Amino acid sequence: MTLKKYDVVVIGAGPAGMTAALYASRANLSVMLLDRGIYGGQMNNTAEIENYPGFKSILGPDLSQEMYDSSVQFGADFAYGPVKKVTDHGDYKLIETAADDYEAKAIIVATGSSYRQLQIPGEEEYRGKGVSNCAVCDGAFFKNKEVVVIGGGDSAVEEGEYLTRLVDKVTIIHRRDQLRAQQILQERAFANDKIEFVWDSNVQEIVGDGNKVTSVKGINKKTKESFEINASGVFIYVGIEPMSDPFGGLDITDEKGWFLTDEKMATKIPGIFAAGDVRKKDLRQVVTATNDGGIAGQSAYHYITELEAKTAVANS
């Protein structure tokens, strides 16, 4: 393990991190873009993206590749590096990963979010055996079968619609009688013959035969009636949680772990910026992630310029 030094280390190579790396490297800073996996973030789990300007419709993995090619064109490095811990040492920050360690004048946290779990019986037992959070990755396993989608937000409704291209029937189970998803996604889902909705209901158990999922059991909250729906696959989209564990000691998130920043994407620790879904904010989209990333990259540049000016004065 070696210690590598950069002006800026960007943690997370989703749309926010890739854009941050683009802006910071174009400002002539040395930049390392780290990810615990492949670049692209949640875009890799999205079939079609039709609300990112410049593309009427583009496959998520294709937009990932386009963004990555842009982000490294001005010299930013990209490396595998699941970040374990970050510590603040004033004028420099130490980033410890499962591979190398890094020292940077500024860091940009763009670690995004992970899927919230339901924590019901069968969920963990049948993960990978029918339980999934990724229709694009796993949908093809259920060709001509019946699946259940849990949730009522953009992910549940959009991914449920995507699944109808592969499976015979999609039952979307939502805990209320109104969807949270964008209007256009709702209209498409309501018009789709392969989608059935089960309203006001909680799923209580995912049932299987020991090897694979066979059904889900739930209860209607209003009528108190129990139900069981046959399903080979269960796609859980009940919201997201921030990926902020490695930054726990820094006290720059709210109580749930979302990063708190000002409009320059600066946290309360000088030199630590955050961008994208990991921030506390209202609209979590590719376009808002890239917006945050651009601002964070530019803010890191201004921060480092001022830091270097102060250091030069102190040394003169």
Residue in 7, 8, 14, 146 binding ligand FAD, rule: CB under 6 A = 14
Instruction: Check if the beta carbon of residue 297 is closer than 8 Å to that of residue 107.
Output: no
Catalytic entry in 69, 91, 137, 254: 137
Q: With binding defined as CB under 6 A, does residue 158 bind ligand NAP?
A: yes
Q: With binding defined as CB under 6 A, does residue 37 bind ligand FAD?
A: yes
Residues 219-248 that bind ligand FAD (CB under 6 A): 243, 246
Instruction: Check if the beta carbon of residue 7 is closer than 8 Å to that of residue 100.
Output: no
Burial label, 43 (beta-carbon count in 10 A; 0-12, 13-18, 19+): buried
**Residue 245 annotated as catalytic:** no
Shortest approach of ligand FAD to residue 300 CB, angstroms?
16
**Residue 138 annotated as catalytic:** yes
For ligand FAD, the closer CB: 235 or 303: 235
For ligand FAD, the closer CB: 58 or 219: 58
Q: With binding defined as CB under 6 A, does residue 226 bind ligand NAP?
A: no
Rounded to whole angstroms, what are the CA distances from 15 to 26, 253, 292, 307, 312?
16, 21, 9, 27, 35
Q: Is 53 strand, coil or helix?
A: coil
15-26 vs 60-71: helix axis angle to the nearest 10? 20
DSSP one-letter string for 217-253: EEEETTT--EEEEE-SEEEE---EEE--GGGGGG--B
Q: With binding defined as CB under 6 A, does residue 238 bind ligand NAP?
A: yes
Q: With binding defined as CB under 6 A, does residue 287 bind ligand FAD?
A: yes
Catalytic entry in 100, 134, 154, 200: 134
**Residue 88 annotated as catalytic:** no
Residue in 85, 175, 194, 280 binding ligand NAP, rule: CB under 6 A = 175
DSSP one-letter string for 132-200: ES-HHHHGGGGTTSEEEEE--SHHHHHHHHHHTTTSSEEEEE-SSSS--S-HHHHHHHHT-TTEEEE-S
Q: With binding defined as CB under 6 A, does residue 302 bind ligand NAP?
A: no
Which partner from the list ligand NAP, ligand FAD, none does 110 bind, CB cut-off 5 to 8 Å by kind?
A: ligand FAD
Q: With binding defined as CB under 6 A, does residue 122 bind ligand NAP?
A: no
Strand 213-220, strand 226-230: pairing: antiparallel
Shortest approach of ligand FAD to residue 188 CB, angstroms?
13
Q: Which residues are catalytic?
A: 134, 137-138
Q: Applying CB under 6 A, which residues contact ligand NAP?
A: 51, 118, 151-156, 158, 175-176, 180, 237-240, 284-285
